[in-house]
Structure 1
Amino acid sequence: MFGDLKRFDNGIGSGFDWFRPWLDEIFQEGAADIRSVPRGSFPMINVGRTDDAVRVYVLAAGLAQDDLDISVQDNVLTLRGRRDALPGENESDRKRPCFRRERFDGEFVRAISLPEGIDVERAEARCHDGVFEIHLPKREELKPRRIDIQAA
């Protein structure tokens, strides 16, 4: 029925055939599409701030609390650790051509600048199902204070 339908080569696309391998080579190290995180950006993080504290959520599925080292020095929060390859995956599996590989494994370090006035002595971290919550309270003297207005 569709035997007479053929792909027509109009010559336009063939001129750009050299471009595809070049783009593939460039994006092999970085993000494959706009929803991907660039390589080396593991673990993903969310950072929020309130009047009382800064909260950092570290999204690190597959990591146990012993796999992540959290430290603060000079208002820089550093996340350091290692994520192993998937169970059963060996080196020969990794050398085979792969359609897409997004899961990062190996050593990682992320550093996040924090605002001034963090009370590092009262910092806390919790882990639940691969999500680490880091609570960094602000020093008392830097918290906003409400001033009551007295009648004259």
Structure 2
Amino acid sequence: MFGDLRRFDTNQSQGLDWFQQFLDEFFPESWAADIRSVPRGSFPMINVGRTDDAIRVYVFAAGLSSDDLEVNVQDNVLSLKGKRETVAPAPQGEGKRPYFRRERFDGEFARSIALPDGLDVDRAEARFHDGVFEVLLPKREELKPRRIDIQAA
């Protein structure tokens, strides 16, 4: 019944790679994409929040230092660039495979995030703590909500 599935002469890890590629091709990203999802393998993962005073972008990049990430804002686009180094060396020797399973991305990366109008990028700040970068982009004063006091007539 399943003889056709066995015709591929692959070892177990190559078979898993083949199956993941098959699923990626069968279910394109747009099939299941929504506002809360990003393509598989996107790095770094981010959260974007809004308050009355600012836009806050949280960049989750465990294993990076503040020198490993470059943050730029131009034309209402926040750009993140950097490089993540390999943490664990591959096993050496004859007959040893580099990895049985490898999920951690390493190498160069870049992400861009569209921002709303009305931000004061000259006052933008970035902080780093425990693998989380916080980018604070304040709103311009004229765009912040204002309370109007009501006076008795």
Task: Answer whether TM exceeds 0.5 for this pair.
Answer: yes
Among the aligned pairs, what percent are the same residue? 63
Q: Residues 121 and 137 of structure 2 are in contact (CA less than 8 Å); yes or no, is this contact kept in structure 1?
A: yes
- Which blocks of at least 5 consecutive residues in structure 1 are unaligned? 1-10
- Matched AA of 1:38: R
Pick closer, same or farther for the CA change 1:83–1:97 going to 2, 3 Å: closer
Pick closer, same or farther for the CA change 1:124–1:60 going to 2, 3 Å: same
Distance 1:135 1:91 in 2: 44
Alignment-derived partner of residue 7 in structure 1: none
Pick closer, same or farther for the CA change 1:91–1:60 going to 2, 3 Å: farther
Distance 1:146 1:91 in 2: 67
- Matched AA of 1:142: L
Which deviations, in whole Å up to 9, do the C-alpha atoms of 1:42-72 show, x marking residues without a partner?
Answer: 0010110001000011000010000000000
SS at match of 2:52: coil
Establish whether residue 26 from structure 1 lines up as the match of residue 14 from structure 2: no
SS at match of 1:26: helix
- Matched AA of 1:110: R
1:23 CA drift (Å): 3.5
Distance 2:110 2:49 in 1: 20
Establish whether residue 115 from structure 1 lines up as the match of residue 116 from structure 2: yes
Pick closer, same or farther for the CA change 1:81–1:72 going to 2, 3 Å: same
SS at match of 1:25: helix
The normalised TM-score by structure 2 is: 0.74
SS at match of 1:66: coil
Alignment-derived partner of residue 59 in structure 2: 58
Tell me how many residue pairs correspond in the alignment: 133
Alignment-derived partner of residue 38 in structure 1: 40
Pick closer, same or farther for the CA change 1:151–1:16 going to 2, 3 Å: farther
Pick closer, same or farther for the CA change 1:55–1:67 going to 2, 3 Å: same
Q: CA RMSD in A?
A: 3.2
Pick closer, same or farther for the CA change 1:129–1:82 going to 2, 3 Å: same
Establish whether residue 144 from structure 1 lines up as the match of residue 145 from structure 2: yes
The normalised TM-score by structure 1 is: 0.74
Alignment-derived partner of residue 127 in structure 1: 128
1:122 CA drift (Å): 0.5
Larger-Rg structure = 1
Alignment-derived partner of residue 12 in structure 2: none
1:131 CA drift (Å): 0.6
1:148 CA drift (Å): 1.4
1:103 CA drift (Å): 0.5
1:37 CA drift (Å): 6.2
Where does 1:45-84 land on structure 2 (aligned, <5 Å)?
Answer: 45-84=46-85
Distance 1:112 1:36 in 2: 12
